[in-house]
Amino acid sequence: MNITKTRIYTISLGCPKNRVDTERMLGAFGDNMIPASTAEESNLVLINTCGFIGPATEESVDTILEAAEAIKDLNPRPVLAVAGCLVSRYGKLSEQMPEVDLWLSTHELDQWPGLAAKALNKEFTVSDKRAISTGPSYAYLKISEGCSHSCRFCTIPSIRGPHVSRNLNSLVDEARYILDQGVPELVVVGQDTTAYGSDLDDKETNLRSLIEKLLPLKGMEWLRLMYLYPAGLTDSMLSFLAQAGKPLLPYFDIPIQHAHPEVLSSMGRPFARDPRKVIDRVRKHIPHAVLRTSIIVGYPGETEEHFNTLVDFVKETRFQNLGVFAYQPEDGTPAGEMDQLPEELREERREQLMGIQSEISREILEEKVGETIQVLVEEPNDEWPGLFNGRVWFQAPEVDGTTYVSAPEDGMELKPGMMVEAEIDNVTDYDLVTLVK
């Protein structure tokens, strides 16, 4: 067998949790892997797919077919491996896409090194490290797999299985490994991060104990928690978070999905029917907290009254960051079997709510003009030389706005991963424009 290094071209689709899986698959090669910039230059094309909703499935299939077309006439032809949620949801689609050499579901990731080595006819020493792909400014820490809730619109439990917490000590070791590479921000993710530890026999292991282990780690500037389900944000938990201090950010990503109790009940959401209660609890304990949420509009049975209640809720709550999604009916879910609202109406409601949110966001950001704030530099801006894209503490990567930062004229050099003090000079609906002081 050949032991030369493997050139891998990677496409990771879907959510941050999927990206962590991709990084683990790449990390398994250790020093035996070289990133390839195109499929044509590679020995292995790895596509980690998403199958959460219809459009994501279509994107995954299109991506596979495009990669297969790009490499079909090469000799030797790269191995084409397809992994992830598409495979877990629909199975190994060998008859539909015979061009694929290797299929891997989310439940088979531990078999990846052996299967990849066999497909490549190579040997390599398997590594248990991750190949961080998010650049020098942040990395995700996935603390659990799957979900044990039964939301009637969601395919995740059928794709990923029930909630399974990862070992606490292994998470701390992984976090330390990431920080040792100079990454300043850890972003904690899971389908429901507040459920961490609930499936373990050791009842002392939970999100609080994990945070307590992470906070002292050297090199961490920001610790951000995502996917905090309302039921897990109890007074006790919020009191702890309020007192934890730096580097934990007072940033709360709380997936509420709707505001009307009848819609929430129909959705099967696993918490009290009035989301105002959790918002009030958070703001009572942490008045300066920044809130983000995600909302679904056009769910089956959503009336004009239901939607107007949601609109009023968004106006009253004034989320700093808000994602709005038009409901997508999915096969295999109870909601997918219900009578559906017209697609045009669903999209119209999404656009209306996003229009309201854009005004709220701009108003909140305009209040910050003139403030001096820490900016985490991420990458050079593609369009303007000397301008960099970055984020401030209330902007999570990939889902929130961008902070544009310029260096002063005295020649200070900005680099990705740097944390700099900058003054907010201007704003758009969702973004900040700053100048390093």
Domains parsed from the chain with CATH numbers = 6-120 (3.40.50.12160), 138-366 (3.80.30.20), 372-436 (2.40.50.140)
Closest listed residue to residue 191, CA positions, set 167, 162, 212: 162
pTM greater than 0.75: yes
Residue 3 has what pLDDT? 54
What does the pLDDT look like over 199-237, one tens digit per residue? Answer: 998 888 999 999 999 999 999 999 999 999 998 999 999
394-426 in b/e burial notation, b at 16+ Cβ within 10 A?
bbbbeebbbbbbbbeeeeeebeebbebebebee
**What percent of the chain stands above pLDDT 70?**
98
Integer CA distances (angstroms), 201 to 81, 129, 146, 165, 205, in order: 37, 27, 18, 11, 9
Q: Which residues pair with 128 in a beta bridge?
A: none
What does the pLDDT look like over 310-368, one tens digit per residue? Answer: 999 999 999 999 999 999 998 888 998 999 999 999 999 999 999 999 999 999 999 99
Which H or E run includes 424? strand 419-427
Residue 270 has what pLDDT? 67
Positions of the chain with pLDDT under 50: 1
Pairing of strands 164-165, 144-145: antiparallel
Residue 1 has what pLDDT? 46
Closest listed residue to residue 306, CA positions, set 272, 349, 351: 349
